[in-house]
Amino acid sequence: MEIFIDEVVAKYNYWIYVVLMMIGFYAMIGKRNLVKKLLGMNIFQTSIILFFVSTGVKKGGSIPIVDKYAGLAGTIDASTIDNPLPHVLMLTAIVVGVSVTGVALAVLQRIYKEYGTLEEDEILEKTQR
């Protein structure tokens, strides 16, 4: 049991990401207001981005840059280098997320002008008449 607790404590950041993800998921599924759903989607996305960025980091890792003076003779130990790929991919994900949020806010503004509300139930009621 003690080994399990040590493992959980050692990976506390992953548990935080899971909690954030569940908060975002609850907001997307459980709330009826469209703005709250959008905020939940942003929280969900942020937790995924934090997770991926944290997977590319190693304790005691260094940056993946080769010294130009070492040339090919310099040896590189891959176990001591942080992986830059998750960071680069998440930069792209952040840009896409901001763009999607902007478009979603514009659509929500248009929905509010059309129906006078952002509550899902009221919009469905007005569309079924």
Contacts of 28 (CB under 8 A, 6+ apart): 37, 40, 41, 44
CATH of 2-55+84-127, one of 3.40.50.720, 3.40.50.10470, 3.60.20.10, 1.10.287.3510: 1.10.287.3510
Instruction: Tell me the HSE value of 40 on the side-chain side, using a 13 A CA sphere.
Output: 16
Structural domain boundaries in the chain? 2-55+84-127
Print pLDDT tens along the chain (129 aa): 777 777 777 788 889 999 999 999 999 999 999 999 999 999 999 999 999 988 888 888 877 777 666 655 556 777 788 888 888 999 999 999 999 999 999 999 999 999 999 999 999 999 997
What is the pTM for the complete model shown?
0.81
